[in-house]
Structure 1
Amino acid sequence: MSLKQTLKKAKQIERHLEQRAESGAQHSLGAVKARNYLALNPLLKKGGIHEKEDIDIVRKKRRRETKQQLRKTDWLSE
């Protein structure tokens, strides 16, 4: 693509964006989406038995327990 074609394409895109701005396009990139505050209600969140445990925390806890057991083991007497 030559420089002349690139500049022509850039001007077309610029004109298109200006037309969209003038026509009052509501779905622009800067539009703020309204929040659904009902979805943030704590009664609607998961909890108790249905709450997922973080796998990394479980692995870390199991690893720590294993290390403590290995430290307690008397390796010289065996």
Structure 2
Amino acid sequence: MIELHKLSHGREPFHLNCDLIERVDASPDCHVTLTTGQRIAVCESVDEVIAKIRAWRIDVLTQSLRLAR
């Protein structure tokens, strides 16, 4: 899961399962669209969200390779 901050509610942090993300748009605020159709406005930029997703996936794969040894 990655930590993001809701644009509303005073930058309230929340954790999101990356597997539920369908797309990330900037219009002009960053919106994360989930596979359920729900859209969440976040404070992070599109590049920041992508970097967090990439880091999370790298961490999962790294742990999997360690367990496989």
Bin the TM-score by the shorter chain: 0.3 to 0.5
Structure number with the bigger relative contact order (C-alpha 8 A, sep ≥ 6) is: 2
Return the index of the structure with the highest Cα Rg.
1
More strand by share: 2
More helix by share: 1
